[in-house]
A and B are shown apart, each in its own frame.
Chain A
Amino acid sequence: MRTKLSVVVAGVGLLLTAVPVVAHHAFSAEFDANKPVKLRGTVTKVELINPHAWIHIDVKSPDGKVVSWQVEGGAPNALLRRGFTKNSLPPGAEILVEGFLAKDASNRANGREVTLADGSKLFLGSSGTGAPEDGRDPGERR
């Protein structure tokens, strides 16, 4: 069941309209569209860097082990213009990431959409060209 993308103006002052989604990297060079992943974890660090922002999260696996993951977002230069700041995802925030695994089997994923603890969604705009079109990307238009 696809969840409709809802863009919410969150209390922390985020202002997200349709985020420009093109990143210059070809999606398929970096991520595997056949390997979708769902990660639930706590934010430890947000790197607002180019060419892609990276959100570091600690994910607790069922056996209690904590594994750290890096989730790729869009380019800060695009995100900043839409109100995203370095405080938009504060350390400790619990998020659910739905995206695709990096091709080199590392703990990296492309995080197209992030659900916050209060249920609101944050679109990270990282799809790049050629990401699987599943209706989440506001940039997808036919």
Chain B
Amino acid sequence: MSHRVVAVLWVLAAVVVGLSLASVPVVAQAPPAAAKTTAVKPWTAPRTPDGQPDLQGMWLNFDSTPFERPATEPRPGVEPTTPGQISGFAEDIATRSPRRRSLVVDPPDGKVPVMPWAEAKRDYDLAHLGDSWEHHGPWERCITRSVPGGIFPTGYDSAYRILQTPGYVVILYEMIHEARVISVDGRPHVPQDIRLWNGDARGRWEGQTLVVETTNYSDKGSIATNAATGRMKGIPQSEALHVVERFTLVDANTIDYEVAIEDPKVYTRPWKVAMPLNRDESYRMYEYSCHEGNENYMKSALGGGRLEDKAAEEAAKNKEK
């Protein structure tokens, strides 16, 4: 065959592949009567005794995919983390990382549309860690890894046990032993006056997808609490925060997780994060008591701040002399 013919054949092959990937609708043709169907049967999740799709199990998401695209530059006071630094679980990353360039999937360019004031607040907090505990993130304070922040992959304890009973889906996060009890019986949210670190969650089923809507946030927390989220770590939450998570069981060992984050005081438009959760029934959760062992950290940070103040005072005095 001549090179030209080969080249044309390659181009045709590429076009065919490209078209099928782009899902261009094709005029339907009646298949030959004897042809075998190649359609993939949609996978049906098993059900719990009360009829909910069964999401129960131990789910992990150690994942080194960068949070944004490209991985964001270090900020003053936030040390750089390359994806490789984030997790020592190399074997997990190799098998579980999605072929995706960022965990942020919307906007399509993988950049979170954060307002400048929110980045300024993050930077102010980072510059004043020695002043008070209030400038430390909720995780450093051992309060919570936040919702949805607590599901953004980090170097350890990225593990979630899902349990279901009639009327409830419960997610137990290993990190700071957070048990998130989500009712799926259609009850309303708690009154607006109640503001919570992790908001108030209500769930409903859409086919095999658990949709969890969380409102009633306080303005004390951060949307992301771990270093792997790059510049997003420490971005504040406002009371207007509205979070919709979708947990879809796509096969026996995979939940496709997606969260839509809307906070009109902090972002110029809503954005989305997505990643798979992978079943691992061999993973063992340990108690992560946090605050009980955190005194040394806070004392070092604040005590160090007071020493720096003293040193600055001394220096100023010496200058005057």
Asked whether, in the complex, the Cβ of A102 is within 8 Å of the Cβ of B300, the reply is: yes
Residue pairs across A and B with Cβ atoms less than 8 A apart, 20 shown, are A18-B88, A21-B155, A24-B154, A26-B140, A29-B304, A30-B296, A49-B293, A50-B292, A51-B142, A51-B297, A54-B296, A78-B88, A80-B286, A103-B307, A104-B306, A106-B303, A129-B85, A130-B80, A139-B88, A142-B82
Question: Which residue of B78, B80, B88, B142 is within 8 Å of A138 (Cβ)?
Answer: B88
A25 and B155 in contact, given A20-B89, A80-B286, A141-B82 (Cβ under 8 angstroms) = no
Interface residues on A, range: 35 or more
Asked whether, in the complex, the Cβ of A20 is within 8 Å of the Cβ of B156, the reply is: yes
A19 and B88 in contact, given A29-B129, A32-B304 (Cβ under 8 angstroms) = yes
Question: Which residue of A54, A80, A106, A131 is within 8 Å of B299 (Cβ)?
Answer: A106
| Chain B residue nearest in CB terms to A30 | B300
Interface positions of B from 88 to 129, Cβ below 8 Å from A:
88-90, 129
**CB of B86 within 8 Å of the partner chain:** yes
Asked whether, in the complex, the Cβ of B85 is within 8 Å of the Cβ of A49, the reply is: no
Chain B interface residue count, Cβ-Cβ cutoff 8 angstroms: 48
Asked whether, in the complex, the Cβ of A51 is within 8 Å of the Cβ of B290, the reply is: yes
**CB of B77 within 8 Å of the partner chain:** yes
Asked whether, in the complex, the Cβ of A22 is within 8 Å of the Cβ of B286, the reply is: no
- In angstroms, Cα B79 to Cα A29, docked, is 11
Interface-facing stretch out of A68-76, A90-98, A112-120: A68-76
**CB of B225 within 8 Å of the partner chain:** yes
**CB of A61 within 8 Å of the partner chain:** no
A26 and B88 in contact, given A31-B300, A70-B296, A104-B307 (Cβ under 8 angstroms) = no
Asked whether, in the complex, the Cβ of B136 is within 8 Å of the Cβ of A108, the reply is: no
Question: Which residue of B84, B287, B307 is within 8 Å of A105 (Cβ)?
Answer: B307
Q: Measured between C-beta atoms, what is the minimum distance from B289 to chain A in Å?
A: 5
Contacts from A to B (Cβ < 8 Å): 18-22, 24-32, 47, 49-52, 54, 70, 72, 75-78, 80-81, 102-106, 108, 125, 129-131, 138-142
Contacts from B to A (Cβ < 8 Å): 77-82, 84-90, 129-130, 136, 139-140, 142, 154-157, 174, 225-228, 284, 286-290, 292-294, 296-297, 299-307
User: Is the contact region of chain A dominated by helix, strand, or loop, or is it mixed?
Assistant: loop
- In angstroms, Cα B89 to Cα A104, docked, is 33
A24 and B85 in contact, given A50-B293, A54-B296, A104-B303 (Cβ under 8 angstroms) = no
- In angstroms, Cα B130 to Cα A132, docked, is 20
Asked whether, in the complex, the Cβ of B136 is within 8 Å of the Cβ of A29, the reply is: yes
CB-based closest 9 A-B pairs: A130-B79, A103-B304, A104-B303, A22-B155, A20-B88, A141-B84, A49-B293, A129-B227, A78-B156
Q: Measured between C-beta atoms, what is the minimum distance from B84 to chain A in Å?
A: 3
Q: Measured between C-beta atoms, what is the minimum distance from A121 to chain B in Å?
A: 16
